[in-house]
């Protein structure tokens, strides 16, 4: 008896790719980063009392293109990338804005946050106090009729 393997189907997006709409044209793969690149990839971890967030942001000037803010326990990273390529009398521009926010852990010291940038990776370090906030009990009121 022969076994039948399940068929893997490619998951399709809600909207067709540009190349699907114009099948007679050459591949549009070279412009894909312009449309798909508006997400900042983040990794975060808690290590030795420090909450660390790393963001992949290659090809930017961190002094001009990155804005990091903290408000109400949320860390927000905004970046803007502009790229210009010129060759043989032809030029191409690619640009995009990126925004990601993460919730800071309880006990985060928002006044001691530090950020650094090295080889395309933005690292934001947030010291976290070991002392957990005190638990609060909320009384339940009863309305007797």
For residue range 22-45, list pLDDT tens digits in order: 545 444 444 444 434 456 788 999
Q: Which domains does the chain possess?
A: 40-127 (2.60.40.790)
At residue 29, the pLDDT reads 44
More confident residue, 119 or 10: 119
Nearest to 70 by CA among 123, 112, 38, 42: 112
State the pTM of this model: 0.60
| β-bridge partners, 91 | 86
Place of tokens 């690292």: 123
């Amino acid at each position: 008896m022969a076994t039948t393997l399940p068929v893997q189907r490619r998951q399709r997006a809600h909207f067709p790719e540009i190349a699907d709409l114009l099948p007679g044209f050459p591949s549009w793969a070279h412009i894909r980063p312009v449309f798909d690149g508006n997400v900042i990839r983040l990794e975060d971890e808690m290590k030795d009392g420090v909450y660390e967030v790393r963001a992949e942001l290659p090809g930017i000037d961190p002094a001009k293109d990155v804005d990091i803010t903290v408000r109400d326990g949320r860390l927000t990273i905004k970046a803007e990338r502009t790229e210009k390529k010129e060759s043989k009398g032809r030029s191409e521009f690619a640009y995009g804005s990126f925004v990601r926010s993460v919730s800071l852990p309880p006990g985060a010291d928002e006044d001691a946050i530090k950020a650094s940038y090295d080889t395309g990776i933005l690292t934001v370090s947030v010291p976290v106090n070991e002392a957990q906030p005190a638990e609060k009990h909320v009384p339940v009121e009863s309305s007797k009729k």
